[in-house]
Amino acid sequence: MWGIVICLGTAAGWAASRLLAATAQRARPAPVPVVPCAVATGVLWGVVWALKSGGMFPEWWLPIPLAATVFAVPLAVADVLHRRLPDVLTMPAYALAALAVCAAALGGPGPPLVVAAVVGCAAVLAFHLLVCALAPGAVGAGDVKLSGSLGALAAAAGWPTLVVSFGLASLLTSLLAVVALCARVSRWRDGVPHGPGLLVATSVSVSFPGGLPSVGS
């Protein structure tokens, strides 16, 4: 039974990401390969469904990791290839995050989950705006736009998850910088993309949210 559910979840992820990647394909100058992105997201959704089936988190939490992973691949690929996070994906991510949080709240803790997400979104967005203003080379405008929606999803899991998520994102970006330096990646001479770190860290954090009684607290 669970095998069928996981397969259906994988297929749904593939279909959703194919649509998103096709949208990003038209986002000049940051096109992404549609089929590889769709396949990778289908695999991610299959993993998320497997984690839920294995009891890693309750069913009501499922919309959160699904929302985090559906945009992750096309956005990360666009940032890696073009150092750009297209508005055509970063802006709809807020609506998707809101729907995911509301759906999880209805099945779980209720309004406290929504409040935590809203506060987390505002706090993360304000922090990245401040960093962008004080050190423009540290993060780009696309990173700022993306951060709020990811902050909402991470904060829904609780403040420890939010802190760990964005700390992990900085660590991943630093590791990427080391790899780029060793590999002499010429396209990143002005700095490595921060979007992949943000996306991977948030996806991992909300897929392994820890003690769910504290979710939304």
Give tens-digit pLDDT for 125-168: 999 999 888 887 778 889 999 999 999 999 999 888 999 999 99
Judge contact between 160 and 208, C-beta under 8 A: no
Output the CA torsion sign for 48, 63, 202, 213: negative
- Please give the mean pLDDT across all residues of the chain: 81
Q: What is the pTM of this model?
A: 0.83
**Is a pLDDT exceeding 60 seen at residue 209?**
yes
> How buried is residue 137: exposed, middle or buried, by Cβ count under 10 Å (0-12/13-18/19+)?
exposed
Structural domains of the chain, count: 1
| Angle at the Cα of 48 from the Cα atoms of 145 and 216, rounded to 5 degrees | 60
Residues in the chain: 217
**Is a pLDDT exceeding 70 seen at residue 116?**
yes
User: DSSP for 135-197?
Assistant: -TTTS-HHHHHHHHHHHHHHHHT-HHHHHHHHHHHHHHHHHHHHHHHHHT-GGGTT---SHHH
**Is a pLDDT exceeding 50 seen at residue 4?**
no
User: Which of residues 186 and 25 earns the better pLDDT score?
Assistant: 186
- Domain range for 148 is 2-214
C-alpha 101/C-alpha 63 separation (Å) is 7
C-alpha 135/C-alpha 201 separation (Å) is 22
Helix, strand, coil share (%) of the chain residues, nearest 5: 80, 0, 20
**Is a pLDDT exceeding 70 seen at residue 23?**
no
**Is a pLDDT exceeding 60 seen at residue 2?**
no
Percentage, residues of the chain above pLDDT 70:
79
Residue 188: pLDDT band by 50, 70, 90 thresholds?
A: low
